[in-house]
């Protein structure tokens, strides 16, 4: 059987999701033989050539050339999968969408005049059709291997849609929101990490993005009743999934 040709691409991102792929170790070794990794700049220097059965894209669209690059990648790909919050939601760099690019450039770079970027950072799905979206900062490698193996078997990947709270319940982790009054985003956040933060007694900050039909306003009302200010509530949501949280809030209020 001909192995599916895979390309792994990077746009604006920190490389963390690609490093997660390299860190898959045993899991990666057991599936790697099923695929022909034809393009992966993080791991090899093979040039970009030909078409791909599966393309994994890390990073958001933050520059003009990336707008053209993602169309080029889409044309070359039978199945396109976004990996991580940057590609799926615009990433932390989308904070500039609600502020000034020039302001951020001044704080982040020593020579801001050398930076040629768009005034917004947007997810891949704003530009081209995306077949599957893998959330997280970084992604869940379990979700990635499930998706890749499903494509080989020609079946739909099983991606769980419930909230982080369900993982806490399954693992018997005491609820930080109820027992300690900590502002935890678990009730509105998509599962995928196995409730890592609550298991370490830290509230979830929503890195897997909004769960479908999560009641964001109701949770924010609860936070306000706990004494958290409106500004603090906005800051809780304005992280790596800021673009999607704001979009979902607008949709839910209309």
Using only the alpha carbons of the chain, give its radius of gyration.
Answer: 19
Q: Which DSSP symbol is given to 173?
A: P
Q: What character string, x for contact with ligand SF4 (CB under 6 A) and - otherwise, covers 38-57?
A: --------------------
β-pairing, 77-83 vs 36-40, is: unpaired
Q: Which of the ranges 47-55, 96-104, 202-210, 221-229 carries the binding residues for ligand SF4, by CB under 6 A?
A: 202-210
Candidates 177, 216, 236, 237: give the one binding ligand SF4 (CB under 6 A).
177
Rounded Cα–Cα distance for residues 45 and 30 (Å)? 23
Helices (H) and strands (E) in the chain, counts: 12, 5
Residue choice 31, 95, 175, 234 for contact with ligand SF4 (CB under 6 A): 175
Stretch that binds ligand SF4, among 114-122, 140-148, 200-208, 230-238 (CB under 6 A): 200-208
Q: Which of 37, 95, 205, 238 binds ligand SF4 (CB under 6 A)?
A: 205
Binder to ligand SF4 among 204, 236, 237, 248 (CB under 6 A)? Answer: 204
Q: What are the structure tokens assigned to 168, written together?
A: 């806490």
| Position among 6, 61, 143, 197 found at the interface with ligand SF4 (CB under 6 A) | 197
Return d(Cα 225, Cα 77) in angstroms, integer.
Answer: 49
- Which residue lies nearest ligand SF4, judged by its C-beta? 186
56 to each of 130, 162, 179, how far by Cα in Å? 10, 24, 40
Taking the C-alpha atoms of residue 175 and residue 203, their distance in angstroms, rounded to an integer, is 9
* From 54, 58, 90, 244, residue interacting with ligand SF4 (rule: CB under 6 A): 58
Indicate whether 183 belongs to the interface with ligand SF4 (CB under 6 A). Answer: no
Least distance CB 203 / ligand SF4 (angstroms): 6
Does residue 189 interact with ligand SF4 by CB under 6 A?
yes
| Only segment of 25-33, 115-123, 141-149, 196-204 that touches ligand SF4 (CB under 6 A) | 196-204
Residue 84 Cβ vs ligand SF4, minimum distance, rounded to whole Å = 3
Q: Looking only at residues 73 through 132 of this chain, which bind ligand SF4 when binding is defined by CB under 6 A?
A: 84-86, 91
First to last CA, the chain: 50
Complete DSSP assignment for 119-169: S--B-GGGTS--SEEE-BTTB-HHHHHHHHHHHHHTS------SBHHHHHH
Q: Is 176 in the site for ligand SF4 (CB under 6 A)?
A: yes
Task: Return the DSSP state at 79.
Answer: E
Query: Which of the stretches 40-48, 149-157, 165-173, 229-237 binds ligand SF4 when contact is defined by CB under 6 A?
Result: 165-173
């Amino acid at each position: 059987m001909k192995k599916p040709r895979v390309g792994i691409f990077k746009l604006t991102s920190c490389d963390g999701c690609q490093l997660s792929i390299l860190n898959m170790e045993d899991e990666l070794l057991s599936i790697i033989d099923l695929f022909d990794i034809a393009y992966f700049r993080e791991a090899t220097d093979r040039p970009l050539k030909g078409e791909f059965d599966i393309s994994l894209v890390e990073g958001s669209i933050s520059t003009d050339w990336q707008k053209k690059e993602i169309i080029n990648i889409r044309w070359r790909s039978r199945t396109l999968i976004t990996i991580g919050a940057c590609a799926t939601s615009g990433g932390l760099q989308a904070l500039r969408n609600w502020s000034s690019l020039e302001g951020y450039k001044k704080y982040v770079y020593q020579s801001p005049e050398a930076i040629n970027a768009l005034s917004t950072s947007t997810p891949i799905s704003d530009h081209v059709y995306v077949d599957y979206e893998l959330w997280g900062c970084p992604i869940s490698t379990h979700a990635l291997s499930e998706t890749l193996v499903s494509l080989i078997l020609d079946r739909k990947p099983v991606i769980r849609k419930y909230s982080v709270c369900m993982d806490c319940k399954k693992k018997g982790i005491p609820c930080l929101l109820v027992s300690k009054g900590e502002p935890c985003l678990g009730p509105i956040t998509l599962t995928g990490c196995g409730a890592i933060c609550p298991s370490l007694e830290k509230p979830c900050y929503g890195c897997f993005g909004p769960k479908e039909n999560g009641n964001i306003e109701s949770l924010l009302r609860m936070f306000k009743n706990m004494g958290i200010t409106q500004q603090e509530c906005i800051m809780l949501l304005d992280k790596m999934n800021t673009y999607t949280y704001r979009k979902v809030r607008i949709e839910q209020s209309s």
